[in-house]
Amino acid sequence: MKQIQKVSPLPATALALVLATTSAALAEVTVDNCGEPLMFDRIPERLVVHDMNMAEMAFALRLQDRIVGLTGITGWYKTSPTFEQERGDIPELAPKYPTVETLVAAAPDLFLAGWYYGMQPGGEVTPDTLAPFGIKTMVLTESCVHLNRDRPEASMDLLFDDVVRLGTVMGVADRANALVADWKDQLAAIRAKTMDTDRLRVFLLDGPADAPFTAGRFAIANAMIAAAGGTSVTGGMDTSWGRASWETVAAANPEFLVLLDYQTGNGAEDTFRFLQDHPVMAGTDAVRNGRWIGLRYEELTPGPANIAAIRKMARAMHPDRF
């Protein structure tokens, strides 16, 4: 058997291996988990994944044979045929938030979730409440800001690092690194087409509401808009996802809209009609000129669908470049 050479400890980052001495199985590996070390002395064999975006991360790494359950899918979203094909016969343990009892019954050794992606600070299901049952929790990095605001502004590394981190822990680091390298090449090609264009003012809206729910500077959607050749008008909000005011958004006069499409009713189309009838948004350039795109939840939260979504946005914002 081929031995992997031991490496000396490195600072905790999403990609850092503190110790690797493995042949067929992981001996010891430590990755960053919201600023705290998360150590494994063997490759997890039973994985539960919350939410569609993280499920697609696991599918992209071809981990289906080790996924014993999904949570938080059908209670909110309509899945695509591709998602269902990749899911196969993996059961959904809870349509929305899982309970501790639900997770313990599935006997996973790893739960992949995030803050407000299946867990809530001080809630029933947290890394601390699962630890006594031998369940480790890998936390989606985008969501770490809900515990500690001393975080860097969102970049596409939120996706890249999480995929490599999951791949490292699950013993498929080469697969993860190859995926990330391909995604970076795709993004470089998109940026090459848009880098010298005027950056459009973009507003992302998560459905009709009295106060707009949108993405701030810690949300990967903010980085996606930038990668597509735009600037988010709410990109200065000191949060990942949160509420803005209609007056502030309208004053920024967005030129392009990204509308979250949950595929309920007419989805993004209904949201655009809401904006056409809105007393302050109706006069903005984006609404008057009908410049918008609808994107699904899993396209706007950290996951493999981000890359194709950036390409869709870039084409819609800068059609002359594509």
314: closest CA among 150, 207, 199?
A: 199
Domain boundaries, the chain: 1-42, 43-180, 198-321
Largest CA distance in the chain: 69
Do 198-321 and 43-180 have the same topology in CATH? yes
Residues 18 and 21: their CA atoms lie apart, in Å, by 10
Terminal-residue alpha carbon distance, the chain: 49
pLDDT 10s digits, 237-275: 999 999 999 999 999 999 999 999 976 656 899 999 999
Looking at residue 265, what is its pLDDT? 56
Instruction: Say yes or no: domain 43-180 is CATH 3.20.20.150.
Output: no
pTM over 0.85: yes
Burial of residue 275 (CB within 10 Å: 0-12, 13-18, 19+) is buried
The region that residue 107 occupies, defined by phi over 0 for left and psi between -120 and 50 for alpha, beta otherwise, is left
Query: Which CATH fold topology does 198-321 show?
Result: Rossmann fold (3.40.50)
pLDDT 10s digits, 281-293: 999 999 999 999 9
96: closest CA among 126, 117, 112?
A: 117
Looking at residue 25, what is its pLDDT? 55
Residues 160 and 87: their CA atoms lie apart, in Å, by 22
Q: With pLDDT > 70 as the criterion, what percentage of the chain qualifies?
A: 90
Other C-beta atoms lying within 10 Å of the C-beta of residue 52: 27
Looking at residue 262, what is its pLDDT? 78
**Residues 205-228, mean pLDDT to the nearest whole number:** 95
Beta-strand relationship, 29-33 and 118-119: unpaired
